Amino acid sequence: MSKSLVKSQAEYLTTGVVAQLCGVSKVTVLRWIKKGHLNAFRLPEGHYRINKKDFSKFVVKYKIPLDL
């Protein structure tokens, strides 16, 4: 199985991927998380991960156009 296929099937997104999809900076994504607008959990290293389902709900709720 190719690495890109495994990555595309991941259940969680990084803040960088979310930022790229939304056309914003990673700092903006972190602000959304800290303000409670976007659900995420923190890894032991301090990085955040966002569940794809939570991201989908966030995009719909806040009417965010995606950069696809």
Confidence at 1, pLDDT banded by 50, 70, 90: very low
The total domain count for the chain is: 1
Give the contacts of 35 (CB within 8 A, at least 6 positions apart). none
CATH number for the domain that contains residue 41: 1.10.1660.10
**Could you tell me the residue range of the domain that residue 22 belongs to?**
3-61
pLDDT tens digits, one per residue of 28-44: 999 999 999 999 999 99
pLDDT tens digits, one per residue of 41-65: 999 999 999 999 999 999 999 999 9
Is residue 55 situated within a structural domain?
Answer: yes
pTM above 0.85, yes or no: no
For the chain, give the secondary structure using H, E and C. CCHHHHHHCCCEEEHHHHHHHHCCCHHHHHHHHHCCCCCCEECCCCCEEEEHHHHHHHHHHCCCCCCC
